[in-house]
Amino acid sequence: MNKPTRRNKSMRPKFFTTFFGIAMLFPFFWMISSSLKNSVEAFATPPTLLPKHPTLDNYRHVFQNMDVPRLFLNSISVTLICVFLQLLTSALAGYAFARLNFRFKNVIFMVYLATMMIPLQVIIVPLFIEMRQLNLIDSLVGLGLPSVVTAFGVFLMRQAMLAIPRELEEAAILDGASHIRMFFSIALPLCMPTLAALGILSFMSVWNAYLWPLVVIFSPEKMTLPLALSNLHGENLTDWPMVMAGTTIAVIPIALTYLILQKQIAQSFLTAGLKG
């Protein structure tokens, strides 16, 4: 019986990687393909992978039924501000939990980390009451304020800060550097890959948010793009090719963000240690 050669063994991981890569990309391919079909072809049996007569009418109908530039501006402005503040608060809190010594540090961190187990559905009513007391209902500020801090981001940045060698911190202290200077001059540059990974995760979370915008936003001119896409669903009949066209438009910023930061994200998985 012939034994498998070394070449055949090396081909197996590539085959599985290619297979699962295609499997993960197929839904996006199907979404784009469906957005270029008409209603008849979209429900044809058997289904077709590629549209026989590609059309951009679905994208034209999306722009006619929704104020896409306004919705896009609302989404991108809220997302960018929330992501920036999430990265800042997560990095500052992560540095404090990793490098500073204060009473009950571990207890506070564990309690803060435990909030990750509480779903949004549980706190959405008190959160709505809080925003109402602050007169932030139906405003972009009220929409983005709950996303300014994230327990997962604090945990991720704390683990990255713990991986920084103590020798660098001791050398900075000997040079008279304060914690603020060590944070901006040593900690942040060394944690850029982790910040990039957290940035795209935060971008996806804020951009795709639906439940909280549905509760807090009432005015059509203040809606975000994912929230407005739900209005494309008809009460009795839904034009799915048009829905796929709108979804494709909503996915473009996330895809571009990943393409821009993919090098830093890959580096974060190689260099960011998870020390306790």
What domains does the chain contain, in order, with CATH numbers?
A: 80-271 (1.10.3720.10)
For residue range 201-252, what is the model confidence (pLDDT) as tens digits?
A: 899 899 999 999 999 999 988 999 988 888 877 655 678 888 889 889 988 8
Mean of pLDDT over the chain: 84
The answer to whether the beta carbons of residues 248 and 32 sit under 8 Å apart is: yes
For residue range 160-203, what is the model confidence (pLDDT) as tens digits?
A: 888 888 888 888 888 888 888 888 888 888 888 888 888 888 99
Mean pLDDT confidence for 16-43: 84
Mean pLDDT confidence for 128-143: 92
Q: How many CB atoms lie within 10 A of CB 125?
A: 10
Q: How far is CA 135 from the centre of its chain?
A: 28
For the record, the structure tokens of 267 come out as 């580096």
Can you give the three-state secondary structure of 29-77, one letter per residue? HHHHHHHCCCHHHHCCCCCCCCCCCCCCHHHHHHHHHCCHHHHHHHHHH
C-alpha to C-alpha distance for 138 and 126, rounded to whole angstroms: 16
**According to the model, what pLDDT value does residue 175 have?**
82
- Exposed / middle / buried, residue 32 (Cβ in 10 Å: 0-12, 13-18, 19+): middle
Mean pLDDT confidence for 44-73: 87
Which pTM does this prediction carry? 0.81
For residue range 5-21, what is the model confidence (pLDDT) as tens digits?
A: 555 555 666 777 787 77
Q: For residue 13, is the peptide bond before it cis, meaning its omega torsion is within 30 degrees of 0?
A: no
**According to the model, what pLDDT value does residue 135 have?**
93
**According to the model, what pLDDT value does residue 276 have?**
42
Mean pLDDT confidence for 21-25: 82
**According to the model, what pLDDT value does residue 264 have?**
66
Say whether pLDDT at 274 is over 50.
no
Distances (CA, A) of 31 to 67, 77, 139, 250: 22, 26, 32, 12
Distances (CA, A) of 61 to 25, 54, 66, 68: 26, 15, 8, 11
Q: What is the DSSP string of 229-267?
A: HGGGS-SS---HHHHHHHHHHHHHHHHHHHHHHHHHHHH
Say whether pLDDT at 122 is over 80.
yes
Mean pLDDT confidence for 133-146: 92
